[in-house]
Amino acid sequence: MSKMKDRSNAISVIARRDISSTVNGLGIYVAASLAFLVAMLFVRSNLKGVTENGLMVMGNPLNYPLFIAVIIGATYLALTSAISVSRERDQGTLEVLFYGPVDSTTYILAKFLEQLVTFLGLIVVYIAFFFIISRLTNFGLHGSFLAMAGLSVLLAASIVAFGLFLSTICRSTRSSVIVLLVLLVAFLAIDIVASILNNMSAMDLSATLIYARVAIDMINRGVKWISPFAYLNRGISAAMLGSTSRILSSIGGSLLYTVALLALAIHFLDRRGVRK
């Protein structure tokens, strides 16, 4: 019991320290501003379509801008978590911490908790921002919007856990950042290309593109098990269909994915040690 109490106190102290550093830093505000800017470009595109074409039937026009904003925010937090662990190992801070009541489990969970709390604050700001946009543009906020906002927390948890995992297996801060960015971009690119090819008629595809579609589809099926974005997409699809069982399945899958990555991060931090 005493060990668990010491671990909980250590997690709280490390998490509060990192949250304070994040709030007092400039990075989170730059990331949020970028998310708002990109989201507004998509909102502007929707408004332009309404202006040019008159009355239009648009299903949940603010959902996709929110999705983009969530990806930017979650990716930023994943990068900061990966950088933080790698940098603290390089600077020797990690070794100093482990002389106190801190072990691999405590450290990884503290880093995870800090990023998750930060994202919860960010998603509240996102909802307030899109509520104002909704009032200004008359674009409605439907139930699927709030469902996406809730499911995005699971995406953030998955991506942050993914970043922590990579930081424990990469040898340097630079390599962890590069690998994380390359993999996240690859996950998104494969999903987008697969979606485009699958939506094209077979008559519009050349023989080469047909083979490419089959190959990309097979790759995408494998990627869906390791891409954090795939878990969010499944949750959004289930929410739009109103399928409670699929929503619960998506949530369960995302939680298992996150727990598995955190467990691997703890394992590799134990195995590699806290020294550079």
Tens of pLDDT, residue by residue over 33-88, are 999 999 888 888 877 766 666 555 455 777 888 888 888 888 898 888 888 877 77
Q: 176, 276 in Cβ contact below 8 A? A: no
Share of the chain above pLDDT 70, in %: 84
Question: DSSP character for 203?
Answer: G
Q: What is the DSSP track for 62-130?
A: THHHHHHHHHHHHHHHHHHHHHHHHHHHHHTHHHHHTTSS--HHHHHHHHHHHHHHHHHHHHHHHHHHH
Does 238 have pLDDT greater than 90? no
Q: What is the pLDDT of residue 50?
A: 63
pTM over 0.85: no
Share of the chain above pLDDT 90, in %: 11
31, 72, 95 from 87: Cα distances, Å: 20, 22, 12
Count of helix runs (H) and strand runs (E) in the chain: 10, 0
